[in-house]
Structure formats: C-alpha cells, structure tokens
Homo-oligomer: A and B are copies of this chain.
Amino acid sequence: MGESKNTEETILEAAQTVFIRKGLDGARMQEIADEANINKALLHYYFRSKQKLFDAVFSKVLSGTFNEMRAIFQGGLSVEHAIKRFADSYIDTLIKNPYIPEFVIHELNKDPEALKKTVSQNLPDISPFLRTIQKEMEEGKIIEMEPKQLLMNTISLCIFPFVGRPIVTQILFEGDEQEFYQTMERRKKDVSDFILNAIKT
C-alpha cells in the first residue's frame, strides 16, 4: 500500500500543532494539510471531518495530560513527596509543552457539553490523595486547611504561569521569553518550598 511512513500519525501531529496554536475555530484544514505536507482531501479520507480530527487530537492530548497527574496523586505518596514530585515533573513537562493547558482549557470553556464525555473518561481520581492530606492533618504533620484548597493551590502554582505565559512574561519579564523559562526552571523547586513552608506545623 502506498504510504510514505505513517500518514495517520503525521496528520495527527500536524493537526495537534495547528489546533493548539489556533484553537478549533481558528484552525484551517488547509493549514493542517500544509503542516503535514499532504493534500487537504487526504485529511478527510483519514478522519472524515474537521470535528472528528479535532476529537482525536483532543482526546490524545487530554489523556497524556491526565495520565501524569493520575500517576502522582494515586501513587500513595506522602503529602510532601507528592507535592515535590508533582511540582518537579509537571513543571518540567510544561516547559516542554507550554501551550497544552491553555488549549485544553479554551476548548472546554467554549463548549463544555460537547467534550464532557472525553473529559470524564480521562479524569484522574484524586480522592486517595485528599484522604492522605486529611490523615496527615489529623496526625498534626501539616496545618489544618481544606484539603481541596491545598490541592487547588498546588495545581494553580504549577500550571498558571504557563497558561498566562503571554501576560506573565510581559508584566514580570518585560517580554523576555528566555527569562520566563529560566524562572520556570528554578520554580520547580521554589513551588514545593513555598507550599511545604505554608503547610508545616
């Protein structure tokens, strides 16, 4: 059969690049075809429609994003270790893929119903980690606070700078992208220091 390497995978990668950059509405099938160095009709041959191609990309991105989160929060780690590991590995991933969170969030914001199924299929269960937090609070290892607020704080501190990168870079680094990324490297450690300091008894 006539194929250069793996056309389907090539298309998916090109589509991911374009969709992440422009969003579903902003992306053009022609642009995806160009990015993949193929003909526009070929996109429809492999994925029927723009929507189906988008769904494939979105699902792939979403599962990748959540798998990492699941591995950490369902791993039975202590609060300290989970936070350290989350900050370190998640910020590391985001330095390499800074556009993913904004992409997911925007599409979800625009049409929550349409993507609800895809989301719920991938959603990590964080209740084990919430119980660990609860337990350590009762043991007096960390201060008392709502476990959900602690988890929300951890996630916020890691992800927000990347979601808000364009503004953050302007306000704090006068537009210097490189300085932004250098600060993120240091932030892997700074975030867990900050959180652990805030919750130590």
Contacts and interface: CB of A to CB of B under 8 A. Distances in A.
Interface of A: 21-26, 99, 101-102, 104-106, 108-110, 112, 119-120, 123-124, 126, 143, 145-146, 148-149, 151-153, 155-157, 159-161, 163-168, 170-172, 183, 186-187, 190-191, 193-195, 197-199
Contacts of A161: 152, 156
A108 B160 contact: no
B153 A194 contact: yes
A156 B167 CA distance: 12
Contact of A25 (B23, B148, B165): B23
Given A102-B105, A145-B193, A152-B160, 4 more contacts: A126-B172, A145-B190, A149-B190, A156-B160
Given A23-B106, A190-B145, A194-B198, A119 B167 contact: yes
Contacts of A172: 126, 148, 151-152
Which of A105, A145, A193: most chain B Cβ within 10 A? A105
Q: How many copies are assembled?
A: 2
Contacts of A123: 170-171
B186 A119 contact: no
Contacts of A22: 25, 110
30 contacts: A22-B110, A23-B23, A23-B26, A23-B110, A24-B26, A101-B164, A102-B106, A104-B167, A108-B167, A112-B166, A120-B170, A123-B170, A126-B171, A126-B172, A146-B190, A149-B183, A149-B186, A149-B190, A152-B160, A152-B183, A155-B160, A155-B168, A156-B157, A156-B164, A159-B164, A160-B160, A160-B163, A163-B164, A197-B197, A197-B198
